[in-house]
Amino acid sequence: MINPEAKLAANIFEKPDTASTREGFGKGVVEAGKADERVVVLTADLAESTQAHHFQKAFPERFIQVGVAEQNLATVAAGMANYGKIPFITSYAAFNPGRNWEQIRTTIALNDVPVIVCGMHAGVSVGPDGATHQALEDIAMMRALPRFTVISACDSEEGRKATLAAAKLGSPVYMRWGREKSPIMTTAETPFEIGKAMEFWRGESPSVAIFATGSLTHNALLAARELEKENISVVVANVHTIKPLDTEKILSLARECSAVVSVEEHQVHGGLGGAIAEFLASEAPTPMEFVGMHDKFGQSGTGAELIEHYGMGVKSIIEAVKKAKERSVKPS
């Protein structure tokens, strides 16, 4: 059942409200701008699709257009942050950090300045644009950088809160955002803290822990509900912060359940699943299945079609849970 402490929205299964996670960024960054006048927003010719235009309207004097130049986006922001501003840099994840990763590494991470890198339209769910625009490697790229915090919000409300928290962090942050509308699971009352995973669902005596990030967390919940009907009990934890990983939570759930499934709209290499596997391998080796993109590029189609086709739908999560459970060595 739904974990009451998560204070999730009513009716998240039947008819959830929907919004894209990037809309949460649009709202959150305006609130962050109100709270702190050092906040500035830069975009590389994508004000509206990144939702930065809300900030542009609210604070035109703190909005900076750099043109289609993602390397400049990162480096101009690095200079501004070095001076004392708190810049959010916005473009598609395929280009930011896809194209400007070295600039991010040298002038933001190594330079140690608090720039918040926002990669929009991440994942296959961006759909018709096709593989060039479907960033599936961004978590891996950013997770590898020292000093960076990496956040992937599960819905627009969590994204709003994460944006506010990122502005206050004082160190480099990568935030990953989706284009398509997705179910809003969390509410204003849902606790949010960078680095703290949260159980959204807990069955009785669970045998598998599902760690999900981004909007696929909703698919994980749908899978949990289906599995319950088959008397397979799971925990679903929303891992919005991929770095630093909530190792305490992951370790306790892995020990409790004895089998683990990761769910993410990202290559299975180097993303959330990779991070959890690296950690568990050294602390508590646990049978694990990975739901995500298996070393492929996407293609054009609707977001829903692509999620199903590439094995990130509810059915695939159910299969992964069953497989993980079979492999588990939990003593009865």
User: Measured from the CB atom, is 87 or 159 closer to another protein?
Assistant: 87
Let me know: does 147 contact 112? Beta carbons within 8 Å: yes
Which H or E element spans position 53? helix 53-58
Size of site (CB under 8 A) for another protein: 27
List 106, 252, 300, 302, residue binding another protein (CB under 8 A): 106
Q: Rounded to whole angstroms, how far apart are CA atoms 231 and 83?
A: 57
Burial (Cβ within 10 Å: 0-12, 13-18, ≥19) of residue 318: buried
Per CB under 8 A, does 152 bind another protein? no
Q: Is 70 a catalytic residue?
A: yes
In the chain, the amino acid numbered 332 is: S
Q: Is 171 in the site for another protein (CB under 8 A)?
A: no
Kindly state whether residue 96 participates in binding another protein, applying the rule CB under 8 A. Answer: no
The pair phi, psi for residue 329, each rounded to 5°, is: -110, 30
> Is 69 one of the binding residues for another protein (CB under 8 A)?
yes
CB neighbours of residue 169 within 10 Å:
14
80 belongs to the binding site for another protein (CB under 8 A): yes
DSSP for 264-279 reads: EEEESSSSHHHHHHHH
> Is residue 325 near another protein by the rule CB under 8 A?
no
Nearest alpha carbon to residue 79 among 50, 114, 105, 45: 114
Active-site residue, from 70, 137, 157, 158: 70
Task: Provide the minimum distance between the beta carbon of 89 and another protein in the complex, in angstroms, as a whole number.
Answer: 10
| Strand order, beta sheet including 198-202 | 198-202, 234-238, 208-212, 260-267, 288-293
> Judged by CB under 8 A, does residue 144 bind another protein?
no
- Give the nearer residue to another protein in terms of CB position, either 106 or 302: 106
Residues 28-57 touching another protein, rule: CB under 8 A, are 40
117 binding another protein? (CB under 8 A) = no
Q: Quick one: 80 or 237, whose CB is closer to another protein?
A: 80
Contact flag: residue 61 with another protein (CB under 8 A): yes
Q: Which residues bind another protein (CB under 8 A)?
A: 40, 61-62, 64, 66-67, 69, 71-72, 75-85, 102-103, 106-107, 110-112
Hey, which residues are catalytic here?
70
